[in-house]
Amino acid sequence: MSKDHLIIFDTTLRDGEQSPGASMTREEKLRIAHLLEKLRVDVIEAGFPAASPGDFEAVRAVARAVKDSRVCGLTRARAADIDRAAEALKDAVAPRIHTFIATSSIHMQHKLRMTPDEVVEHAVAAVRHARQYTDDVEFSAEDAGRSEIDFLCRVIEAAIAAGARTINIPDTVGYAIPQQFGETIATLLERVPNSDQAVFSVHCHNDLGLAVANSLSAVLNGARQVECTINALGERAGNASLEEIVMAVRTRQDIFPVETRIDATQIVPCSRLVSNVTGFPVQPNKAIVGINAFAHESGIHQDGVLKHRDTYEIMRAEDVGWSANRIVLGKLSGRNALRTRLQELGVSFDNDLLDEIFVRFKDLADKKQEIFDEDLQALVSETAPEESDRHRLRFLHVCSESGTTPHARVELEIDGEVRAGSSDGGGPVDASFQAVESIVNSGTDLLLYSVNNITSGTDAQGEVTVRLSKAGRIVNGQGSDTDIVIASVKAYLNALNRLGTPAARAHPQHDGV
Ligand code: KIV
Ligand code: ZN
């Protein structure tokens, strides 16, 4: 029996980016978008173009680059937002405009300060306006999870009549429970008279840890699009995890009446790239993409798996992109081998960037015999610093020995000028950060400092994440090196550079319409 197609709508670059500290540059979004296209997601929500000129440019770049997925821009139910999104999407092969307005009493009263009639009017006007630019218009009833069902039916019917071809039901605050959320979808499909003219979609947040369960329950009740993110990135506790949705549907074909077109072997590379770009590490026991997801620690399990892998494995690690042999390159590998492997990883680069990556690659290969995919991803992230990068590390000397106070001397290049500083500290990392601060005096607060090894072994590169905040703005910085003190300083400077980029951007959901 032929199955329905389940549309996978990825919002890592929009809702994912709304996680504090996860904002991405245009180049970073492009790198992720290329890999999402390779993963074969149906729709890439690239951002909220009206947020800032930088967001507009990022959506435009993704719209121009991606050919095999639809590219979507989010808008509030405002003509000006929609015009801006249409402009950013104008070169896309398949553009989608996604417009939304809140429909719960609490949001209408306290956030929008609108009557239900006014909300319906705005929704209809927004959808009509968007339809002047494209046939592919999606309408979301924000906070649908807490909206009154009669009103939801009314606004959805009006949005479809105005031309929306996708109707999205967000559980914006992660309040829904699987059975009840599934029933809501079934009720809407049954009660909205023109429901057959639109695809019903869901967008679940994970505040109660139920985003994936709610999304799957919706699919069982007729939803045919799921909005999700890589590594479950997203506001607060995140969105539904793309990898978990896709693999649940694929693994339990006996239950789900749908199929996706996802190339699951790209899941792990996508997960790594998103983690690498945003500085949000993947927890080791995270389903599908955690480092332990396919590790069989206990003797009984290992024995079972060796005798017959289905005893304890419901999926194969290779199917989601974990490769058994992950050693890719070494000291003797040449430029061509590097180019080929980068292409296989979905990294796009020009010759200048390849030259730079190659120099760093050789440098790393001198310190570390085996270069893994993860090392290459980290190298790419660090090479070609953004033009706006104000702070660069030139030199670091750290002295740390038992019985003495650690001391660091650092030399930075700031806007082309070389400046030096030094400091004692509680440990080598603390001394280095204070030495940097003795020069930059940034006035930031350090919210998080974490170190992960990118691969295993004591010669592995350490990948450091530093989260800084200043005046309510939060950014993550990342750095990697075989020397974790150097990696730490690189991460610190990366965060400072990100803080220096323009901050004024609107949040789509934090004000009225
Ligand atoms: O969570 C939400 O309601 C959203 C909408 C803008 C779709 O992200
Ligand atoms: Zn959301």
pLDDT digit string, tens, across residues 358-388: 998 998 988 887 888 878 888 887 775 565 6
pLDDT at residue 382, rounded to an integer: 76
pLDDT digit string, tens, across residues 45-78: 999 999 999 999 999 999 999 999 999 999 999 9
At residue 503 the predicted structure's pLDDT band, cuts being 50, 70 and 90, is low
Instruction: Name the least confident of 98-102, 377-381, 469-473, 478-482.
Output: 377-381
DSSP 162-218: HT-SEEEEEETTS---HHHHHHHHHHHHHHSTTGGGSEEEEEEB-TTS-HHHHHHHH
Average pLDDT, the chain: 92
pLDDT digit string, tens, across residues 401-449: 999 999 999 999 998 899 999 999 999 999 999 999 999 999 999 998 9
pLDDT at residue 342, rounded to an integer: 85
Residue 383 CA: distances (Å) to CA of 260, 338, 343, 377, 392: 35, 14, 16, 10, 12
Q: Which atom of ligand 1 is nearest to the CA of 227?
A: 7
Q: What is the pLDDT averaged over residues 118-123?
A: 98
Number of other residues whose CB lies within 10 A of the CB of residue 422: 16
Q: List all residues whose CB is within 6 A of at least one atom of ligand 1.
A: 15, 100, 140, 142, 168, 170, 172, 203, 205, 508-509
% pLDDT > 90, the chain: 70
Compare 476 and 86 and report the one with higher pLDDT: 86
Record the tokens describing residue 431, joined without a space: 């001394």
pLDDT digit string, tens, across residues 220-247: 999 999 999 999 999 999 999 999 999 9
CA of 426 to the centre of ligand 2 (A): 41
Compare 238 and 27 and report the one with higher pLDDT: 238
Instruction: Name the least confident of 70-74, 454-458, 463-467, 470-474.
Output: 454-458
CA of 306 to the centre of ligand 2 (A): 42
pLDDT at residue 326, rounded to an integer: 57
Contact 160, 194 (CB under 8 A): yes
Q: Which atom of ligand 1 is nearest to the CA of 11?
A: 8
Whole-model pTM: value is 0.87
CA of 35 to the centre of ligand 1 (A): 23
Q: Which atom of ligand 1 is nearest to the CA of 508?
A: 6
CA of 473 to the centre of ligand 2 (A): 20
pLDDT at residue 384, rounded to an integer: 57
The tokens 């030096």 sit on which residue? Answer: 420
Q: Which atom of ligand 1 is nearest to the CA of 173?
A: 1
At residue 463 the predicted structure's pLDDT band, cuts being 50, 70 and 90, is confident
